Amino acid sequence: MANNTYSFKIYAILVLCLMLISCQSDKNPNPSKSAASNQQAKPIVLKEAFKERYRVGTAMSLVQIMGEEPDTLSLVTSQFNSVTPENSMKWERIHPERNKYKFKASDTLVEFSNQNKLFLVGHTLVWHSQTPDWVFQQADGSPSDRKALLETMRLHIEAVAGRYDGKIQAWDVVNEALNEDGSLRSSKWHEIIGDDYLEHAFAMAAKASPHAKLYYNDYNLFKPEKRQGVIRLVKRLQSKGIPIHGVGLQAHYALDYPDLNEFEDSIKAFAALGIDVMITELDVSVLPFPDEENQGADVSLNLALQSKFDPYPNQLPESVELQLAQRYMEIFSVLNRNAKLIDRVTFWGVHDKQSWRNGWPMQGRHDYPLLFDRSLKQKAFVKALPQAGL
Ligand code: XIL
């Protein structure tokens, strides 16, 4: 019953929002321009609209960081108050070889975000993906043992997190360490160092960057078993006095995925641990998911393009845009209702063209998962999001 009332409220707000939009376009003397004027209706400023609730962030790609998309840069500074590098601080980019660091992009982003007073989240120090093979080998090419790998981890964290202490406000220290059942994922980190590798990573990050908030970040954290895995992890660190300040739920979602009640339960459960809760990589795919078994964000998925999985190559039909609007309203109802528990909501990209969902889990598709379209226009439904669920 409560759920029905709730869906009705969302639906009512949505209808109201669409009526408002069409009223605006009715004022347009040229009806053929009404669709365009929908797009031109004054956008809301996300960071203002949500300022009393949570930060609103976006991931920035390398070309954006390097200033090669000036329009996107002004959108970032006008709309968002937090940024995360989409790839530029990952191990393979910033530390591609044992004795070679590449700090150009990260230095540029640090300067940009400090100048514009954006809350910068470093992403990420320890992950099984986008990490070069040499990390798990000794200098002579033989496989690393526990001691050698811990030393490699320490040098990396000191060099990267240490370089930016006081300039990067938070780090995703460890990314995706858990299996779907909440147990520790069997990565090279786990295999070589053992169960306590996360504890070492967090302790090293705290030492290298004492001013940064330190987070654990993962996908599918709405799942009850995975949620329990995070709770065990956080409690273990807390009981050992190792700092952990928050948990990030990635949130690579779709029109019918996941169950938002479970999402809400996880937000509440993580907040009850006395730590920050963030939504760190929000996007909502409108495309059919080609591998039902593996929905989530397993970056190793790479399926061959089939046109039946790319149904909207030119533009998104209005009926599907309405479904996207409805889904975003449902997600923001959860976020707005729990605003006191949430520190930040970050979208995984500024606009649809940039989104990694065009290339994952299948390359070459056309997805529409973000709040700004391919020409950087704010989507019409966005203005209703601040009221969702209230
Ligand atoms: C993705 C990037 O968006 C892509 O450009 C890259 O090719 C692969 O990684 N979970 C994470 C992010 O924590 O770092 C991933 O980003 C998406 C899934």
Structure tokens at 280: 């760190």
Alpha helices in the chain (DSSP H): 2-26, 34-40, 46-49, 62-65, 70-79, 91-94, 104-115, 146-163, 188-193, 197-208, 224-239, 260-271, 318-337
Q: Ligand 1 centroid to 122 CA: how many Å?
A: 13
pLDDT of amino acid 300: 82
HSE, side-chain direction, 13 A CA sphere, residue 135: 27
Pocket test for ligand 1, best of 282, 348, 352 (most atoms within 8 A of CB): 348
Give yes or no for residue 202 having a pLDDT over 90: yes
pLDDT at position 182 is 98
Which among 63, 360, 362 is the best mutation to test ligand 1's pocket, defined by most ligand atoms within 8 Å of the CB?
360
Q: Which residues line ligand 1 (CB under 6 A)?
A: 86-87, 175, 250, 281, 297, 299, 356
Exactly one of 69, 158, 199, 281 is catalytic; which is it?
281
pLDDT of amino acid 7: 55
In ligand 1, the atom with minimum distance to the C-alpha of 349 is: 3
Residue 153, number of CB atoms within 10 A of its CB: 21
Name the active-site residue from 69, 176, 321, 330: 176
Please answer whether residues 72 and 83 qualify as being in contact, where contact means their C-beta atoms are separated by less than 8 angstroms. no
The amino acid at residue 215 is Y
Q: What is the pLDDT of residue 36?
A: 40
Q: Please state the atom number of ligand 1 nearest to the C-alpha of residue 59.
A: 3
pLDDT tens digit string along 338-372?
Answer: 999 999 999 999 999 999 999 999 999 999 999 99
297 CA from centroid of ligand 1 (Å): 8
Count CB-CB contacts under 10 A for residue 244.
25
> 176 an active-site residue?
yes
pLDDT tens, 78-100? Answer: 999 999 999 999 999 999 999 99
| β-pair partners for 246 | 215, 276
Q: Atom 16, ligand 1: which residue's CA is nearest?
A: 86
Helix, strand, coil shares of the chain as percentages rounded to 5? 45, 15, 40
pLDDT of 231 above 60: yes
Amino acid at 76: V
User: 296: Cβ–Cβ under 8 A, 6 or more apart, which residues?
Assistant: 180, 219, 220, 252
Average pLDDT taken over every residue of the chain: 92
Residue 87 CA to ligand 1 centre (angstroms): 7
Q: How far apart are the first and last CA of the chain?
A: 17
Question: 22-72 pLDDT, tens per residue?
Answer: 444 333 334 334 344 444 578 999 999 999 999 999 999 999 999 999 999
Cα 299 to middle of ligand 1, angstroms: 7
What atom of ligand 1 comes closest to residue 127's alpha carbon? 13
Kindly give the distance from the C-alpha atom of residue 111 to the centroid of ligand 1, in angstroms, as a whole number.
Answer: 23
Grade residue 18 by pLDDT with cuts at 50, 70 and 90: low
Q: Using alpha carbons, select from 356, 370, 384 the residue that is nearest to residue 80.
A: 370
Pocket test for ligand 1, best of 60, 87, 171 (most atoms within 8 A of CB): 87
Mean pLDDT of 2-15: 53
Q: Is 281 a catalytic residue?
A: yes
If DSSP states are collapsed to H, E and C, what string results for 88-103?
Answer: CCCHHHHCCECCECCC
Q: Is 334 left (phi over 0), alpha (psi -120 to 50) or beta?
A: alpha
Distance 350 CA to ligand 1 centre (A): 14
Closest CA to 244 of 222, 215, 205: 215
Token pair 């989507």 in the structure block, residue: 379
